[in-house]
């Protein structure tokens, strides 16, 4: 499964008011593993950035003067995301801006025509109703370090969102790194620790501890049939 975690920065909050995309950041996941492939572009919007937006992402009009326009990078961007599941926080915002850019360039397709979209904000609201579910709040909730995030940035935020998404949807269950080989049966190989050099002591319960345990199980088994009473405990003398 190929997923693209995506984020954008913009000149303002509403494309209907003429606001444009000024930064796109994407990271690629394959089967819930980071592949190392990214896509990142700053874009010249041909309009001024709202001062409130500059305070959020720190991108200035002067910085974007020599950057390409969306039309110039459109084909490479669509090639990178086409056919993927786009993982986006508050997807309606970013998808709306991308669709607006495509419309301005007379491109007939829209994002939903060639990508599936997964909204992590919707997932978070369902999983944590009544709580804050912005990216910073989710990082605190899941113990993800975002201390280097002083300002919003599309690539940085997409990298953080990739970690949040994996935790939000059940944690990172596959511990192999991208590029490592799977087993022939499609199941990832488990790396066993070499314990041959370890001197591990095994402490057995003594008779007094076993009696105390039996008494406790008896109290649990007041109605009979408890599974615990069916589990035999081997005495130290039996070894």
Q: Over the chain (239 residues), what is each successive 10-residue block's mean pLDDT?
A: 96 97 97 95 97 92 97 98 98 98 97 98 96 93 78 84 94 47 38 49 75 72 58 52
With tokens 């915002």, the residue in question is: 93
The CB density around residue 93, as the number of other CB atoms within 10 Å, is 18
Q: What's the confidence (pLDDT) of residue 230?
A: 59
For the entire predicted model, the pTM comes to 0.71
d(CA 224, CA 231): 13
Inter-CA distances, 220 with 45, 213, 228, 231, Å? 70, 11, 8, 13
Is the Cα torsion angle 39, 94, 92, 137 positive or negative in sign? positive
Tell me the average pLDDT of the chain: 83
Q: How far apart are CA 160 and CA 148, in angstroms?
A: 10
C-beta separation of 51 from 37 below 8 A: no
pLDDT of residue 145: 82
Tell me if residue 89 is catalytic. no
> What is the pLDDT at residue 228?
56
Kindly report, residue by residue over 168-221, the tens digit of the pLDDT: 998 654 434 444 444 433 333 334 444 455 455 666 778 887 877 777 677 666
Contact indicator for 118, 91 with CB cutoff of 8 Å: yes
Report phi then psi at 125, rounded to 5: -65, -35
- Burial (0-12, 13-18, 19+ Cβ within 10 Å), 6: buried
Q: Which of 40, 107, 128, 152 is catalytic?
A: 152
Let me know: does 71 contact 46? Beta carbons within 8 Å: no
Indicate the SS3 state at residue 6. Answer: strand
């Amino acid at each position: 499964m190929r997923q693209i975690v995506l984020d954008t920065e913009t000149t303002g909050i509403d494309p209907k008011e003429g606001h444009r995309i000024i930064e796109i950041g994407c990271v690629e996941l394959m089967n819930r593993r980071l592949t190392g492939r990214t896509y990142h572009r700053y874009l010249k919007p041909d309009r001024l950035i709202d001062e409130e937006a500059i305070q959020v992402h720190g991108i200035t009009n002067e910085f974007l003067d020599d950057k390409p326009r969306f039309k110039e990078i459109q084909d490479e961007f669509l090639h990178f995301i086409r056919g993927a599941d786009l993982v986006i926080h508050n997807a309606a915002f970013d998808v709306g801006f991308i669709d607006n850019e495509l419309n301005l360039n007379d491109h007939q397709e829209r994002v939903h025509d060639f990508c599936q979209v997964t909204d992590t904000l919707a997932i978070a609201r369902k999983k944590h109703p009544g709580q804050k579910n912005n990216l910073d709040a989710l990082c605190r909730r899941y113990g993800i370090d975002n201390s280097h995030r002083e300002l919003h940035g599309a690539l940085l935020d997409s990298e953080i969102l990739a970690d949040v998404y994996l935790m939000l949807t059940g944690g990172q269950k596959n511990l192999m790194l991208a590029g490592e080989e799977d087993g022939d049966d499609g199941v990832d190989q488990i790396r066993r620790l070499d314990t041959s050099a370890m001197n591990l002591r095994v402490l057995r319960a003594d008779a007094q501890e076993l009696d105390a345990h039996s008494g406790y199980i008896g109290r649990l088994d007041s109605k009979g049939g408890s599974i615990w009473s069916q589990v035999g405990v081997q005495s130290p003398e039996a070894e």
